[in-house]
Amino acid sequence: MAFWDKLKGELVDVIDWLDDTQDTLVWRFPRYNNEIKYGAKLTVRESQAAVFVSEGQIADLFGPGLFELTSRNLPVLTTLQKWYHGFESPFKSEVYFVSTRNFTDIKWGTKKPITLRDPEFGPLRLRSFGTYVVRVSDPKALIREIAGTDGVFGLDEITGQLTSMVMGRFADLLAESNIPILDMAANYDELSQWVTKKMEPEFTAYGLSLTKFIIENIAMPKEVEEALDKRTSMGIVGNLDDYTKFQAANALESAAENPSGDASAGVGMGMGFAMANQMTQTITGQSGQGSPKSQEASPEGPPPLPEQEIIKYYLGIGGEQKGPFTLKILGEMIRDKTTTQETLVWKKGMDTWARADAVDDLKFLLEDEPPPLP
């Protein structure tokens, strides 16, 4: 087998590399006993560089193009003129191909939260993650400092070291930035450029270049995010009294659009509306009855007024009985067009159902309503 390897190495005088991987940084061209013949053809493609090593020392660097390995193309190696065209060569030479393209989508993320002091929320622990892009800027330095004589050197062999460098520098810069956490999202680009600039010397020492650093997210602890969501919800709701009335009006409209519901469902909705109305009155301090504390007589004041019975009405909507509703809720239903002059109503003490415009208690609520069209 060794004989065929030797013979194949002597017959093949074209040196090139077709990279079919996505993460190979350095690849050494395989030759029997590392012998390169005088006059061999070297093909270097775009996004590649070739480093020629002779007698254990880096002799030359080739960019994209087609080269003939002779003393004319290798002026550093004057002894190459002694190479023979035969099968034997006294010089041990190697060719390392280096990929100079951008290696994208390298993940980074904080293993532990970064603790910093926020001007609004105080001490916080933040987590962050994103991606970064690197490329080989100095093939000689990469081979000399990292790859060495490794025949195949992949990106995964150095990703851990690079990510640790990135995270250490990012945590330091994030703490020094003094940017409030609520303004972080608006400064992702500035932080990315800052990290890229600060990290460039450290990557250059390895023959690499940090071409792009992307921050995808800077997140607060889950408990802080939930508290912030509640605070945001309170700001959106605004006036609680208006919001409660709005919810009650929407519920009334939904009830009117579903007249096929049974009587028990209507009664349940009516009770729910009455409870919502009572809650609104309690919150705004406008309840006619007042809270228990408000009814307590002060030492110098008179006793509280006796409670009055609340009149409740039942409605006939779509052939179904709905209610009971208080007079205040009926007023809201008339304004929402849920109840009209022709709606049948009944209350305790009435012999039969009657139109709403025939009930004295409801006439003043219907005064602004026009009569029905003929």
Which pTM was predicted? 0.55
Domain of 148: which CATH number?
3.30.479.30
Instruction: Name residues whose C-beta falls within 8 Å of residue 215's C-beta, 6 or more positions apart in sequence.
Output: 128, 130, 188, 191, 192
Range of the domain at 11: 2-99
> Quick one: 263 and 201 in the same domain?
no
User: Residues 112, 196: one domain?
Assistant: yes
Tens-digit pLDDT profile for residues 196-226: 888 888 899 999 999 999 988 888 777 777 7
Q: Render pLDDT for 268-324 as a digit per residue (tens, 0 to 9).
A: 555 555 555 655 555 555 444 444 444 444 456 677 766 555 778 888 887 888 888
Based on the fold, state whether residues 158 and 80 are members of the same structural domain.
no
**What does the alpha-carbon distance between residue 345 and residue 163 come to, in Å, rounded to a whole number?**
75
Amino acid letter at 63?
Answer: G
Q: What is the pLDDT of residue 78?
A: 42
Q: List, as one string, the DSSP characters of 202-234.
A: HHHTTTEEEEEEEEEEEE--HHHHHHHHHHHHH
Q: Which two tokens stand for residue 15?
A: 């040196």
In this structure, the answer to whether residues 263 and 338 fall within a common structural domain is: yes
pLDDT tens digit sequence for 145-200: 888 888 899 998 988 888 888 888 888 888 777 788 878 878 888 888 888 888 88
Residue 373 pLDDT greater than 50, yes or no: yes
252 in any annotated domain: yes
Contacts of 7 (CB under 8 A, 6+ apart): none
Are 196 and 143 within one domain?
A: yes
Q: Which of 49, 67, 99 is the last residue of a domain?
A: 99
Is residue 243 located within the same domain as residue 335? yes
CB-based contacts of 170, cutoff 8 Å, min separation 6: 108, 128, 195
What average pLDDT does the structure give for the chain? 75
Report the number of distinct structural domains present in the chain.
3
The 10s digit of each residue's pLDDT in 228-261 is 777 666 666 556 666 666 667 777 667 666 655 5
